[in-house]
Amino acid sequence: MKLTAENIILFIHPTEEKTKKPILDEISYKIAYAIETGKPNFVVGFLDKNKKASISKGMTLGHHTCKCGATSEGSDYKIAEGLYTNSLGAHYVAFHRNDVPKSDIEKISKLTYKKDYIPRQGIFDGVTD
Ligand SMILES: [Zn+2]
């Protein structure tokens, strides 16, 4: 699977400070659920500043460190058919919503989650296990 601007979401570098409180709405729950139930995917990619997907094989090249210091895992997550994100996805949506592109919010809004889902502790801080 090739990572392109169309099939990855939340490969962003927030520019604004982390908000004091997370936004825990349906969008945050949907992406958290998708990551928790997604599969680690070891083709690491990110969007460069020209919005081109860059890809590197191997885990250690793929760490993202958020502006606030939160660090991602070295793998992406396959979260739906043909859709990938990184382990900081839920963190970005909850704490850096202003930096999340509208197109990503639209893709997240199409995801589903269980109504009785309780997010795992730390998922919004970028901790996935
Ligand atoms: Zn952050």
Condensed to tens digits (0 to 9), the pLDDT of residues 75-85 reads: 788 898 889 89
Condensed to tens digits (0 to 9), the pLDDT of residues 7-46 reads: 889 988 899 999 999 999 999 999 999 999 998 876 555 5
Instruction: Compute, in angstroms, the gap from residue 93 CA to the centroid of ligand 1.
Output: 9
Which tokens sit at 37? 């139930």
pTM: 0.82
Instruction: Compute, in angstroms, the gap from residue 94 CA to the centroid of ligand 1.
Output: 9
